[in-house]
Amino acid sequence: MKVLLLLGLVAVALCEPTKFVGDKVLRLTPGSEEDVTVIREIGHKIKVDFWKPDNPDVVTIGMNVDIHVPAAQLDMVFTILQQSSMEVEVMFENLQEAVEAQMDDKRATKAHDYTKYNNWATINDWVVSISSANANLISRQVIGNTYEGRPMHLLKIGKKTGSTKPAVFMDCGFHAREWITHAFCQWFVKEAVSTYGSDSEMTNLLDRMDFFVLPVFNIDGYEYTWTNDRMWRKTRSRNSGSNCIGTDPNRNFDAGWCTIGASSNPCSETYCGSSIESEIESKNLANFIRSNKSIIKAYLTVHSYSQLLLFPYSYKYGLAADHSELLSVSQGAIAALRSLYGTKYTSGPGASTIYPAAGGSDDWAYDLGVKYSYTFELRDEGRYGFLLPESQIKPTCEETMLAVKYIASHVLKNLY
């Protein structure tokens, strides 16, 4: 009986979500090479979680570096920081409070809500119901299952004309903890179907092209952020020879794979995987895009946070063949976005605008021949980071819609 009770307690402990009581998020701004070395030393010697950038090795002078430091590691981190005169700002005094404050509990509901964060079960039901309720504009298919066996639903949105139309492919939720991204894909689908017929731009887009929307890419990871660890980033696949779980799916594609800004260590948050497309989710997405390459004219992948609109390349510093057009379209898109609430975005090639990172889906899609390939990094710039409050879902999604429509309209006028 005692053994059973003990096992029961262990089971309960294993199911208890990770708490972040006393954890802090620090913003470090290195002013010298010595400061950069200090940050890298913290990253390599102490178990901390790099929020931005996601890898200590890409830190450079003048960059804002946001690090989540567990309570148990704070003394050690502050001891190291005292040896430098680096600027340190505490972004979160107690991370657990921020995790709890993210949800607007006054509106707690189990039903699907576009202005709340919805868990996977709710999103899964929503996918089925919205496609059934809008059969004239939406069709649904499963492009494969995740590592843990969950269906990867893809929605195709557009007027059914009976002929092949050019398409935009958009995915959300590559990194599990970036909850605002999942919210945006759901918002986009709602806006597309609810404004068709009344908004002339959206009506024209849906009449003449299709949108493939993958509302949640890394479903297993997303589910895990609800049940176990809000700060989980990677997939949930097992790695042979290691106890560490998961791969960074945005380092898992055939684009300078595992060369720069990615790690071959399975315990790293930027682990590139055992091979190109080792993750079933990556393979499912890549297979779909490869099979539909002739019609997919744009690839949009939605991440957070930083308020950026990036385009190739991230795996190298060289400019893309279509650099000038990609830049001008990105500048038009962020101007459209800013027109609503004044939110300032920066645009440019990934490597030089933020930091180099190999194996990204945007670079892979571009090299495959999808010219208009963009990565969004949604709100904010670090005040809330991955814990953007639900009160910001609506304005974030509204402004991002303007940028997506701007890009899609450009694509439609410049088919290739």
Cα distances from 202 to residues 43, 123, 162, 213, in angstroms, run 46, 23, 19, 15
What is the C-alpha R_g of the chain? Answer: 21
Any catalytic annotation for residue 398? Answer: no
In terms of C-beta density within 10 A (0-12 exposed, 13-18 middle, 19 or more buried), how is residue 373 classed?
buried
Note the Cα 389 to chain centre separation in Å: 16
Q: CA-CA distance, 363 to 368, in Å (whole number)?
A: 9
**Residue 117 · residue 182 · CB < 8 Å:** yes
Distances (CA, A) of 293 to 298, 337, 343: 10, 28, 34
Query: What tokens does 57 get?
Result: 């090795």
Active-site position among 223, 269, 277, 377: 377
Residue 408 tokens, joined = 């899609």
Q: What is the C-alpha to C-alpha distance for residues 72 and 23, in angstroms, rounded to an integer?
A: 8
User: CA-CA distances (angstroms) from residue 383 to 18, 81, 109?
Assistant: 22, 21, 26
Burial of 69 (0-12, 13-18, 19+ CB in 10 A): buried
Task: List active site positions.
Answer: 377
